[in-house]
Amino acid sequence: MKPFVPQLIYIEPGALEYELGRELKQKFEEMGLEIRETTSHNQIRGIPGDNELQQYRNAKSTLVVGVRRTLKFDTSKPSAEYAIPLATGCMGHCHYCYLQTTLGSKPYIRTYVNLEDIFNQAQKYMDERAPEITRFEAACTSDIVGLDHLTHSLKKTIEFIGQTEYGQLRFVTKYHHVDHLLDAKHNGKTRFRFSVNSRYVIKNFEPGTSSFDERLEAAKKVAKAGYPLGFIVAPIYLHDEWKEGYRELFERLSDSLEGIELPNLTFELIQHRFTKPAKKVIEKRYPKTKLEMDEEKRKYKWGRYGIGKYVYQNEEAAEMEQTIRGYAQEYFPNSEVSYFT
Ligand code: SF4
């Protein structure tokens, strides 16, 4: 998988007041990319494409360089206290992706250049909670690693959090372009997680992301660079022979990480879920998807803003949890399962 290169760049004029905004403009000019100016991301018109589907695909390779105006961070349970907003949107095409609903009609990628404002805000949150640790999640609204080879804003965030007393950072990725992050001064305060899944799920539902083997190679590099490592097994999906599929995943993980020191390795387990609005969007954007989203077979769970989600039935979820926790224990006895949800 090659590193992401946008087809089209929009730059908000406000972004050029920041050093990173100017740097990115120059970089993209040197790369020979098409750059357009826009007054605000809400005014982006004319993403090319003959129909909605084409426009959607093109939007996913459009990068908007902008300024983050809202500096109130969202909460990010259960893995962190706050979502730190570095970017929104993603170049990947995972059918089940939660961004289908959260970003709705604006699937282009936005990166924010006013990092100092964002770091100042993060510092305020840390001060409020001190001496409690405050954890920030950097991958709530994008796959930040997939973009960071261009912007290095994640790298700067890792180093910012590295020198704080009460901060921790975490993010998750399906991309393997981690080389520039290996020498970041993380001070052990950033947990680097990779999203992994059974062969079936990766093959059928995760186009446009790095292969499992590429992610594993990257995980090894990251562990050797001293980052606390984690894996998020998500979404756990009940396909035919899922038990064998997930066992194989743990076998491959354990074979490949053999001999590498992994103090406090963590696993986070998230079962597949969908909302009604997401289902509609997914069926439109990936009309041939094999992703099973039959409300009748699922359990309805009330959610925020009145949009409930469909999760697996209690017995299925319990079996799933027990099975995957069992594999984690069997293959990585010193690891910890942080949660199943
Ligand atoms: S890599 Fe993550 S954020 Fe990107 S499309 Fe896939 S699930 Fe969504």
Could you report the per-residue pLDDT of 126-152, keeping only the tens digit for each?
A: 999 999 999 999 999 999 999 999 999
* 3-state SS, residue 188: coil
Burial class from Cβ neighbours inside 10 Å (0-12, 13-18, 19+) for residue 305 reads exposed
Residue 25 has pLDDT above 90, yes or no: yes
- For residues 67 and 18, the answer to whether their CB atoms sit within 8 Å is yes
Q: What is the pLDDT of residue 194?
A: 98
Interior angle at CA 195, CA 189 and CA 201, nearest 5: 175
Distance CA 60, CA 307 (A): 25
For residues 24-41, one letter each, b for 16 or more C-beta atoms within 10 angstroms of the residue's C-beta and e for the rest, the string is bbeebeeeeeebeebeeb
Does the C-beta of 87 come closer than 6 Å to ligand 1?
Answer: no
More confident residue, 79 or 134: 134
Please write the tens of the pLDDT for every residue from 154-164. 999 999 999 99
Cα(128) to centroid(ligand 1), Å? 32
Locate the ligand 1 atom nearest the alpha carbon of residue 90 and give its number. 4
Mean pLDDT of 232-254: 98
Window from 15-19, 274-278, 320-324 with minimum mean pLDDT: 274-278
pLDDT in tens, 191-233: 999 999 999 999 999 999 999 999 999 999 999 999 999 999 9
Mutate which of 56, 57, 143 for ligand 1 pocket (most atoms within 8 A of beta carbon): 143
Fold of 71-340: pyruvate-formate lyase- activating enzyme (3.80.30)
How do the domains of the chain map onto residue ranges?
71-340
Give the confidence band of 178 by pLDDT, cuts at 50, 70, 90: very high
Mutate to test the pocket of ligand 1, among 1, 86, 88, 97 (most ligand atoms within 8 A of CB): 97
Between CA 315 and CA 327 the distance in angstroms is: 18
CA 93 to ligand 1 centroid distance, Å: 7
The kind and range of the H/E element at 83 are strand 80-83
Ligand 1 pocket check for 143: Cβ under 6 Å? yes
Q: Is 54 helix (H, G, I), strand (E, B) or coil?
A: helix
305 Rama class: left (phi>0) / alpha (psi -120 to 50) / beta: left
Task: List the one residue out of 61, 63, 68 whose CA is nearest residue 18.
Answer: 68
The finding on whether 97 has its CB within 6 A of some atom of ligand 1 is: yes
State whether the beta carbon of 90 lies less than 6 angstroms from ligand 1: yes
